[in-house]
Structure 1
Amino acid sequence: MKTTLVLAMTADGKISDTTKSPPTFSSERDSAHLEEQIALSDLILVGSGTLGDGGSVVLVQKPELIRARIDRGLPTQPPQLIASRSGKIDAGLPFFSQPIDRWLLTTTEGAKDWQNRDSFSNILICETADGKDIDWQAVKSKLVELDIKNLCFLGGSELAASLFAANFIDELWLTVCPTIYGGSDAPSPVSGAGFTPDNAPKLTLLSLDRVEQELFLHYQVQK
C-alpha cells in the first residue's frame, strides 16, 4: 500500500492563517491537481479536525476522472476515512449528507457513539495497547487486508506528525503558493511535538513543476 500526502501551503509554510480559516491562497490549477490525486486513490484519509474546519470533503467532479474510475472498476467517489481517536465528530456537518461512502478510524472508546448508527459504513478500530491512541501499524495491516493499494492523505497537521513518526507516508505532493501569511500561531503542514535532526523524515525530490506562480513538488519519503 502506498500513502500519499497531498497539500498546499503559502511561501512561508502555512496551511491557514491565525484564525484557522479555510485556505484560499491556492489556484484553480492546484484544485484540479488535488482532484486528480483523489481520483487516483482507493481511499481518502482525513483528520477529524480538518473535516470539522471545512465541514465537507473534496469530491471528484470532472466527468473524465469519474469515467476513469469506473473503467478501473472503482466507485465514482473513493471512500472517506475520518481519523478520530475520540470519535467526537459533529453529526450535523455537511459531510454526512455528501454522496460518499464514509468510514471511521478510531479507538474502542471513540467508536461507542457511532456503532448503532448508519453514519459510517465501516468502523475500523486500531488502537494502541492502552486504548488511548490509534496504532498506525495496525491501520496499515488492516487496509492491506481490505485491498487498499493507494491511500491519499489530505491532513491535518497533528495527524501528519503522527503518520510521519510512524513511517506511514510514502510520497508527498506539495504545492507552494505565492502568499505570505505569517503568524506564530498559524498552522503549518506538520505540527505535533516535532522531530530532532537525527529522526527527522528525509525526502527525495522526484519532480518539480512551475505553473505560473505556483510550484508543484513531488517527493518520496526516504525509508
Structure 2
Amino acid sequence: MHVVVNAATSADGKLSSRRREQIAISGDEDFARVDRLRADSDAVVVGVGTVLADDPHLTVKDDTLRTERREADRSANPARVVVDSTARTPPDAAILDDAASTYVCVTEAAPVDRRADLADHATLVTAGDDRVDLLRAFAALEEQGLDRIMVEGGGELIFSLFAAGLVDELRTFVGPTVIGGRDAPTLADGEGFVEEFPTLELESVDRLDDGALLTWRVEA
C-alpha cells in the first residue's frame, strides 16, 4: 500500500479558519492537480470532521479522467473512506451517494443504531475499541484491493496517520495567504510529537498558481 497525504495550506500552515470554514487557498492549476491525484488513486480518505464541516463528494471532476479510469477497467471514481470512530457520519452525507463505493471505519464503541444506519449506505470496517485502529483499518482496506490511498484531511487524521507510520508521501500546496489563529486547524493537529519526529525528504518544489507545491517522501 502507498499512502499519499495531500493538503492545501496557507503560508502560515493553516488548513482553514478558526471557524473551520473553507478558505480559497488553491487556484485552477492546483485543483486540476488534485483531480488527477484522485483519478490515480484507489481510494480517497478523510476524517469525519471533514465530512461534517464540508460534506464533500470526493469524486473525480474531469470527464476525461473518469473516462480514462473506465477505459482502464476501473470505476469512474475511486472509493471513498471515512475514519469515524463513533459513527457520526450523517446517513444523507454526500460521500454516501452512489457515485462510488464508500467505506466507513468505526469502532466497537460506536452506537449500534448509528452503525446500522450507515451499513445501509456503506461498507463498515470495525477496527479498535474506542478509537479507530488505523493499522488494522488500512490493512482491511488493502485486503479490498485498495492499494494507492490519497488522504485529504483533516489535521487530526493526518497526525494520526503519521503517528501510526502509515504515510509514504506528503504533497502540500502552500497558497499566498495568511489565516492565523491559535485555534485554526493545521496540517497535522492531534497530540503532536515531542520526540522521534517523522523525517521528510524534499523531492520537488513546483510553482502552481501563485503558490508552491512541495512534494516530500517520508523516510522510514
AA paired with 1:213?
A: D
CA distance in structure 1 between the partners assigned to 2:29 and 2:209 by the alignment:
10
Displacement of 1:207: 1.1
Displacement of 1:52: 0.8
What is residue 215 of structure 2 aligned with on the other side? 218
CA distance in structure 2 between the partners assigned to 1:2 and 1:126 by the alignment:
20
Helix, strand or coil: the match of 1:174?
strand
1:119 matches 2:121: yes
Displacement of 1:111: 6.6
CA distance in structure 2 between the partners assigned to 1:182 and 1:132 by the alignment:
32
Over 3 Å counting, the alpha-carbon distance change for 1:75 and 1:111 in structure 2 is: farther
Displacement of 1:23: 2.3
Task: Pick one of 157, 168, 184 that aligns with 1:159.
Answer: 157
Over 3 Å counting, the alpha-carbon distance change for 1:81 and 1:16 in structure 2 is: same
What is residue 39 of structure 1 aligned with on the other side? 39
AA paired with 1:36?
A: R
Consecutive unaligned residues of structure 2, counting only runs of 5 or more, are none
Over 3 Å counting, the alpha-carbon distance change for 1:137 and 1:98 in structure 2 is: same
TM-score, normalisation: structure 2: 0.93
Displacement of 1:61: 2.0
What is residue 59 of structure 2 aligned with on the other side? 59
* % identity of equivalent residues: 26
Task: Pick one of 190, 203, 207 that aligns with 1:206.
Answer: 203
Helix, strand or coil: the match of 2:161?
helix
What is residue 140 of structure 2 aligned with on the other side? 142
Over 3 Å counting, the alpha-carbon distance change for 1:212 and 1:27 in structure 2 is: closer
Helix, strand or coil: the match of 2:137?
helix
Alignment of 1:1-223 (within 5 A): 1-97=1-97, 99-110=99-110, 112=112, 113-115=114-116, 117-120=119-122, 122-127=123-128, 131-196=129-194, 198-223=195-220
CA distance in structure 2 between the partners assigned to 1:53 and 1:45 by the alignment:
15
Displacement of 1:28: 1.4
Do the aligned residues in 1 keep the contact of 2:10 with 2:179 (CA within 8 Å)? yes
Supply the RMSD in Å over aligned alpha carbons: 1.6
CA distance in structure 1 between the partners assigned to 2:38 and 2:208 by the alignment:
20
User: In terms of mean alpha carbon deviation, does 90-99 or 180-189 score higher?
Assistant: 90-99
Displacement of 1:180: 0.6
Displacement of 1:199: 1.2
Consecutive unaligned residues of structure 1, counting only runs of 5 or more, are none
What is the total number of aligned residue pairs between the two structures? 218
TM-score, normalisation: structure 1: 0.92
CA distance in structure 2 between the partners assigned to 1:137 and 1:95 by the alignment:
23
CA distance in structure 2 between the partners assigned to 1:123 and 1:58 by the alignment:
18
